[in-house]
Chain A
Amino acid sequence: MPMLNTQGLTGHYGDFQALFGLDITVGKNESVSLIGANGAGKTTTMRAIAGLLSSPAHMIQWKEQSIGNLRADQVAKLGIAMVPEGRQLFPSLSVEENLKIGAQSARSGPWKLNSVYELFPMLTEHRHKPSTSLSGGQQQMVAIGRALMSNPEIILFDEISLGLAPIVIKQIYTALPEIVRDGTSALIVEQDIKKALQYTDRFYCLSEGRVTLNGDSANADQHDIVQAYFGN
């Protein structure tokens, strides 16, 4: 049974149309990657699902419920969390306050301050520092922790590794199985196609607002992906 699926999802920024009828499905416990060139519509898809971009209700289905027209805060309360591109921590909040804000939707589950600090031990010593004093990688850990604090059933990772040092990217991906467990699904936007295929079950390749290729990550053909990536 799909947890989340989009049905002919379209997306607009004013007069500019960014998505042309996307059908994407994410099942329970599944991790799915979205790949594609800049401007392919990956972030727009994420924003639409998270409710930052309003869509007709039926275009986004969550457990067979139409949620396309809900506001972002209503979507968050359903158990859909997002780690936005570029971390987007709250600069006037400390690390711990950023994490606590994540728990605002008051969903119960395994993730609490302690379990996030266990997942990313290096955050513990910085807990009372301003979030902006951290390195990019540590900030990404806070952003992931903040999303986990809502005990989501699916996490949307937008540009999970963009701008991070290779060693940090490795740490984040090492933590991923720990995050995507116990019935949590993930939808991941990743620039690095190799990483995307290595760490996810299935993938969708977008080009100019359309799905040009999708399938199991394990059986993905390099040549087909290159073709799909450039929209052929």
Chain B
Amino acid sequence: MDWINIIVQGILIGGLYALFAAGLSLIFGVMRLVNIAHGDLIVLAAFLGLTVTASIGIHPLTALLIVVPIMAMVGYALQYLLLNRTMGDDILPPLLVTFGLSVIIQNALLEVYSADPQKLQSGPLETASISIGSINIGVLPLLMFVVAIAVIGGLQWLFYKTAIGRAFRATSDNADIAQLMGLNKAHVFGLAMALSLSVVAIAGIFLGMRTAFDPASGPARLIFGFEAVIIGGLGNLWGTLIGGVILGVAQGIGAKINPGWQLLAGHCAFLLVLAIRPKGLFPRVEH
């Protein structure tokens, strides 16, 4: 029974990893940009949630209504004013700029919030659980998982069923030709980053509700996100969810064997997939 419990908990935490990964996958898919500051932006969103909940006294989930739009605007501005200037045939300049951004965000957070670990207080939700047989499922992890599915389903719908999704895919295929069709790529890229950071905001709030975070927590979230994307296969959003689940389960099993092996087991699972299926388990089908 212990093992079933571990696997169930691993699956649920996989939802959070998928949320870390979805925004990363999205902007890589649309504009081939690898955002090294992604993890730090997640932590930034968590701190933003902290400020909002503390100053207005609302529940972290309610704070999403404020944090998501703010992060979306930050994303659009960041892309439009800064990152668009670095985009070109060479993928190195945007990589370096987001690396610098990562350092700046970490230090700015340290300056404003100090190095103390923080947590978003979510009241009874933190300890609420439901029992199925002999397994106790936390309501919060379950909620995270459901939200992850909803977010990924929503992104999938947006990408394949709406005009803006069509614009994302066309710009991703060939930005010059998309521009000929009247799509301004600077604006389309801005929208993609806004969408990515909206997902980041959700991920950040859930991160803060689930565990303690501090200004240096970002890079580890970036790694989890990367690993989930690679395991699932680049450019496949549902694959990313499965990637997150595999990572979560592997970490749970590792921790069960030896508490020190939690992270190691996740990385090993990632390396194993990379060795056997370098394109991930569910690579996007090329037409």
Q: Which residues of A contact B (CB under 8 A)?
A: 50-52, 71-74, 76-77, 81-82, 84, 88, 90-93, 97, 100-102, 104-106, 130, 132-133, 146, 150
Contacts and interface: CB of A to CB of B under 8 A. Distances in A.
B106 to A, nearest CB: 36
Contacts, number: 72
Nearest to B186: A71
Contacts of A73: 179-185
A91 B173 CA distance: 7
B174 interface: yes
Contact of A132 (B169, B182, B185, B287): B287
Interface of B: 163, 166-167, 169-170, 172-174, 176-185, 287
B287 A104 contact: no
Contacts of A97: 166, 169
A92 B183 CA distance: 16
B154 to A, nearest CB: 19
> Sorted from nearest, which 6 A-B pairs have the closest CB atoms?
A105-B182, A76-B182, A72-B179, A130-B287, A90-B173, A73-B184
A91 to B, nearest CB: 6
A84 to B, nearest CB: 6
B170 A90 contact: yes
A50 B180 contact: yes
A74 B183 CA distance: 9
Contact of B179 (A71, A90, A106, A133): A71
A144 B167 CA distance: 19
5 contacts: A76-B180, A97-B166, A101-B181, A102-B181, A104-B183
A147 to B, nearest CB: 9
A115 B177 CA distance: 23
Contacts of A105: 181-182
B169 A92 contact: yes
B183 A90 contact: no
A52 B166 CA distance: 21
Contacts of B287: 91-92, 130, 132-133
A82 B172 CA distance: 19
Nearest to A132: B287
A101 B179 contact: no
A82 B170 contact: no
A157 to B, nearest CB: 13
Given A90-B173, A93-B173, A100 B166 contact: yes
Given A52-B176, A74-B184, 9 more contacts: A72-B179, A73-B179, A76-B182, A81-B180, A90-B177, A93-B166, A93-B170, A97-B166, A105-B182
A23 to B, nearest CB: 24
Contacts of B167: 101, 104
A113 to B, nearest CB: 14
A211 to B, nearest CB: 25
